[in-house]
Amino acid sequence: MKIARTIEEVRAAVANARAHGAVIGFVPTMGFLHEGHLSLVRNVATAALSGRGAAEGSGTHMFIIVSIFVNPTQFGPTEDFSRYPRDEERDRALLESENVDLLFLPEVDVMYPPGATTRIDAGAVARPLEGARRPGHFEGVATVVAKLFNIVQPDVAVFGRKDAQQCAVIERMTRDLDIPLRLVFGETMREHDGLAMSSRNSYLSADERAKAPVLHRALRAGEEAITHGIREVAGIEKLMHRVVAEEGGVEVDYLAVVDPLTFEAPRDFDREVLVAGAVKIGRTRLIDNIRIPR
């Protein structure tokens, strides 16, 4: 696995891979990798080839790029940018074992040289839920992802569905800005007790970790109500709140039933809906969601 720390190094590696007929697959991350990230790497490998309709043995091969960049512009002033977990050595070893071809590890001034002020606003989909609680967050995400897409110019990029609204923001931006690539969204990987895998789980003390699966349990309760035909959004949200309250010591940021395209309350239940939530346990904020097909 090669390491690139500059944009020029990435561009040279991609040009070389393309010259040899490779399909470029890309997984942007903020590092401190876990099984969820590794499943995205495996996803991009499959997606990159299937997108070309390449039969096995056809000679088409992929070139997989992972970036690790803790993006300061997507953190609010009181958020966890400086304490966000980092472990470059361990991440490198994990990616080596997944046969990643190139790891892009830019410093902040590579991504944001002095004077860089342009930001991308993805519009309405970036406003509710996470957007309302974390002002500027999705501008930071959309901006860094657009920059990474311009640097890497991948054929396929993969993002995890745990960040459902982020997926919607990136899909909107990619379409609106005519960025020529295919997006793939990987399923959320979970611990044995349902907790969604996240780098932020490492902040949890043993007591907090024991409480954390309540978010998934609450969302499951919402899912169950919907699959049993309950259609009253306020009632479903109340039910999810009750599950969290019963656990105790967990603060709800939001627990909502939304349309997965707009992230507003669904107009009806004739299409897929999403139950999404964010809770705080001690100083740690966790998010999760479940998609519920029609």
Query: For tokens 């379409």, what's the residue?
Result: 175
Closer CB to ligand PAF, 62 or 145, in the complex: 145
Closer CB to ligand PAF, 63 or 104, in the complex: 104
In whole angstroms, what is the distance from residue 11 CA to residue 294 CA?
43
186 touching ligand PAF, by CB under 6 A: no
Q: How far is the CB of 1 from ligand PAF (least distance, A)?
A: 19
In whole angstroms, what is the distance from residue 130 CA to residue 133 CA?
5
204 touching ligand PAF, by CB under 6 A: no
174 touching ligand PAF, by CB under 6 A: no
Q: How far is the CB of 197 from ligand PAF (least distance, A)?
A: 12
Tokens of 77: 């002033």
198 touching ligand PAF, by CB under 6 A: no
Closer CB to ligand PAF, 29 or 201, in the complex: 29
Closer CB to ligand PAF, 139 or 237, in the complex: 139
Identify the residue among 10, 17, 25, 28 touching ligand PAF (CB under 6 A).
28
95 touching ligand PAF, by CB under 6 A: no
Give the number of other CB atoms < 10 A from CB of residue 267: 9
Give the number of other CB atoms < 10 A from CB of residue 231: 13
130 touching ligand PAF, by CB under 6 A: no
In whole angstroms, what is the distance from residue 160 CA to residue 40 CA?
7
265 touching ligand PAF, by CB under 6 A: no
Chain centre to alpha carbon of residue 293: 20
Closer CB to ligand PAF, 29 or 240, in the complex: 29
Closer CB to ligand PAF, 236 or 286, in the complex: 286
H-type helices in the chain, by residue range? 7-19, 35-51, 88-97, 108-111, 130-133, 137-152, 164-176, 206-211, 214-227, 233-247
What are the backbone angles phi and psi of residue 148, rounded to the nearest 5°? -65, -40
Sole window of 138-146, 171-179, 205-213, 260-268 interacting with ligand PAF (rule: CB under 6 A) = 138-146
Q: Which amino acid is at 205?
A: S
Identify the residue among 30, 54, 110, 261 touching ligand PAF (CB under 6 A).
30
In whole angstroms, what is the distance from residue 168 CA to residue 281 CA?
26
Q: Known catalytic residue: 61?
A: no
Binding string, 141-170, against ligand PAF, x = CB under 6 A?
x--xx-----------------x--x----
36 touching ligand PAF, by CB under 6 A: no
Contacts of 93 (CB under 8 A, 6+ apart): none
Q: How far is the CB of 59 from ligand PAF (least distance, A)?
A: 32
Identify the residue among 71, 165, 198, 284 touching ligand PAF (CB under 6 A).
71
**What strands, in cross-sheet order, belong to the sheet with 61-68?**
2-4, 102-104, 61-68, 22-29, 156-160, 182-186
Tokens of 218: 């609450």
8-state DSSP, 285: E
Q: Provide the pairing of β-strand 2-4 with 273-281.
A: unpaired
Catalytic residue among 20, 37, 192, 228: 37
Residue ranges in contact with ligand PAF by CB under 6 A: 28-30, 71, 74, 141, 144-145, 163, 166
State the catalytic residues.
Answer: 37
